[in-house]
Amino acid sequence: MTKLINSFLDITRLEAGKIHMDYQDFDMIDLVREAEEECIATISTHPVIFAPVVSTIVHADKDKIGQVITNLINNAVKYSPVGTPINVACLTFDGMARISVKDEGMGIAADDQKRLFDRFYRVENKQTDKIGGFGIGLYLCAEIIKRHNGNIWVDSAGKGSTFYFAIPAYK
């Protein structure tokens, strides 16, 4: 419940332009390793594989970017069958640090993909009926990434999904 309340507060602050962003230089590899340690301690239903992960320095709010990574991993756990792997990667392309979280879940229809990052939007179908949520997690991720001059998107063709985000690498 605390997590939900904090998410709503974050949205309110973001939309009011009053959320504090603590920009600092850090290596994405360190943040991904922290996420890996958290997964080892908290996720027993899926193998979470962190590879490849390359060193990439960014100028960003480490906690907020960590929140995005955690949300994407938690969604992969929530929307994919128990025991299926979740792959997390961190690479550098065209001056951008790019994180991907890939699952073997139900997949997302093209029409839903267009609205997935909208506030309060949830995919509604037989497979998601019993999965709780309020449609704020991906919206919050998108807002955080937007404030880092980055992009967030999903690729889902049939079964499984890969969520990506990219933020500028430090020059």
62-104 pLDDT, tens per residue? 999 999 999 999 999 998 999 999 999 999 999 999 999 999 9
Q: What pLDDT sits at residue 8?
A: 54
Q: Which amino acid is at 166?
A: A
| C-beta of residue 66 within 8 angstroms of C-beta of residue 22 | no
Q: Is residue 157 situated within a structural domain?
A: yes
For residue 18, what are its two tokens?
A: 């009053």
Q: What pLDDT sits at residue 25?
A: 98
pLDDT band at 170 (very low <50, low <70, confident <90, very high): confident
DSSP-assigned letter for residue 101: E
Q: Is residue 16 situated within a structural domain?
A: no
Q: How far is CA 131 from CA 77, 80, 119, 168, in A?
A: 11, 11, 18, 34
**Residue 48 structural domain:** 23-168
CATH number at residue 162: 3.30.565.10
- β-pairing, 86-93 with 96-103? antiparallel
User: At which residue do the structure tokens 């997590």 appear?
Assistant: 3
What confidence tens digit (pLDDT) does each residue in 16-32 have?
Answer: 666 788 999 999 999 99
Q: Is residue 17 situated within a structural domain?
A: no
Distance CA 101, CA 88 (A): 5
Q: Is residue 96 situated within a structural domain?
A: yes
Q: What pLDDT sits at residue 160?
A: 93
Q: Is residue 163 situated within a structural domain?
A: yes
Cα 61 versus chain centre, distance: 15
Q: How many domains does the chain fold into? A: 1
What confidence tens digit (pLDDT) does each residue in 113-135 have?
Answer: 788 888 865 666 655 556 555 56
Q: Is residue 8 situated within a structural domain?
A: no
Q: Is residue 12 situated within a structural domain?
A: no
Q: Is residue 119 situated within a structural domain?
A: yes
